[in-house]
Amino acid sequence: MAVTHDAVSPLPRPTDTPAVPEPDKAPGKLIFGLAFAQFGIMLALLTPVTVTLALRVAQIVPEADRGAALGQVLALGAVLAMLGNPVFGALSDRTTSRLGRRRPWLTGGAVATLAGLAIVALGTGVPTLMLGWALAQLGGNAALCAVTACVPDLVPERQRARVSGIVGMTTSLAIVAGSVLANAFHTVMALAFVVPALVGLAGAVCLAVLMKDRPATPGAFAPYSLREFLRSFWVSPRKHPDFAWNFAGRFLVFIGISCVTSYQVYFLMDRLGYGPAEVPGKMTTATIAMVAAVVAGSLLGGVLSDRSGRRKPYVLGSSLVIAAGLALIATAHTFPVFAAAMVVFGFGQGLYLSVDVALAAAVLPNPEESAKDMGVLNVGNAMPQSLVPVIAPVLLATGGGGNYGALFLFGGIACVLGAAAVQFIRSVK
């Protein structure tokens, strides 16, 4: 992949690149490619987060240490994802390859994800798991930043909520598929890691074939120096307050979401009393119910938001529904109650995912830096994955230990604060 380092005039800005006219309508094959790529990459990354990585850690770490070990592995991967998203986005914006500026990162990232998960599958110690998961997270987030940038790049504004809903709901479909695969391959753990990664690679290649891409204009960007590296992580909240409020809202909502995705396996084990062999089946049942709600929320939210031209009310409502789902999970002591709470949680998540990307695309400071700026916003998704494993042990230890109620109520409060933050956005209804 070629990244331009051409000499440029003083203080060059990316706006020197000629703007590409917005298409009249995103073709169906592009929407399919976006959905398949998102599904495959999220299948590769979320199957370990929600099921298989916890089971893999449980295979090689004593029971008393498994929570801390899982936290170490997840936290390292999340930190690298947080750092990698904006950096890969900035490099993608600058890529002058004849293949385009998104394709090399999309396919290369998927290959790296496959390699990293193969290391996790074969590793016999926590350091090896950390190494493999770090590579998988870096590769997966390089691919995801390319997929995410395609929405503002290739989808017209009036379609973005519907397309975001379709693409967003594949994340939850990936969780269901991951649970099914984990259940199918629980006796051959290597396949439970490698098969999802192969699907991710297939999705990335499919989108690379179907999408229209273009290389960056040579000389349109400043060389990628240390200054530009640091700028990859920064969008001025003073100059772009709407972007900053959207980042804050996304960060807080994903704090709540991460409380569930990171600790639902141990919740089933510790509070509901299921053994490791029973967890994949229970996860599949609960997740199928949740995903049905996610699909309903995604489709409903996307259609209503595009028809009304409004984004903020749907983000507000969805964040509050997610908070309600977290509160219900906090009080669950039987599996049926847990499954019902996951339905509420899933419906809110579907509504949120259908509108959040459309809202994000509307507050980007510069369309020519869409991958970099979407990468900065995606830090709001990734950072909670590293913070929650650090905060969770403290919350779980309160009141004598195993306090999942405190953990999930904390997540619910974060979602309510995230809903409030989005209301300060001024440029979007």
- Rama region for 365: left / alpha / beta (φ>0; ψ in -120 to 50; rest): alpha
Name residue 383's amino acid: M
- Output the pLDDT for position 324: 95
Residue 18 has pLDDT above 50, yes or no: no
- Output the pLDDT for position 234: 67
Q: Is residue 42 part of a domain?
A: yes
pTM over 0.85: no
Q: Do 137 and 80 meet the contact criterion of CB atoms below 8 Å apart?
A: yes
Q: Is residue 16 part of a domain?
A: no
- Domain residues for 375? 23-215+226-422
For position 375, which CATH number holds? 1.20.1250.20
Q: Is residue 428 part of a domain?
A: no
- pLDDT, tens only, 126-159: 899 999 999 999 999 899 888 988 888 888 877 8
Q: Is residue 221 part of a domain?
A: no
Q: Is residue 10 part of a domain?
A: no
Stated length of the chain: 429
- pLDDT, tens only, 278-325: 887 888 788 888 888 988 888 888 778 878 878 888 888 899 999 999
Q: Do 200 and 181 meet the contact criterion of CB atoms below 8 Å apart?
A: no
- pLDDT, tens only, 69-85: 888 888 888 788 778 87
Q: Residue 149 contacts by C-beta under 8 Å, 6 or more apart in sequence? A: 89, 92, 93, 102, 370, 371, 374
Q: Do 84 and 233 meet the contact criterion of CB atoms below 8 Å apart?
A: no
Residue 179 has pLDDT above 90, yes or no: no
Q: Is residue 208 part of a domain?
A: yes
Q: Is residue 245 part of a domain?
A: yes
Structural tokens at position 84: 């990698």
Structural tokens at position 166: 């379709």
What's the structural domain count of the chain? 1
- Output the pLDDT for position 232: 64
- Output the pLDDT for position 39: 96
- pLDDT, tens only, 57-71: 888 888 777 778 888
Element (H or E) spanning 36, and its range? helix 28-47
Q: Is residue 7 part of a domain?
A: no
- pLDDT, tens only, 237-274: 888 888 888 888 989 999 999 898 778 888 998 899 88
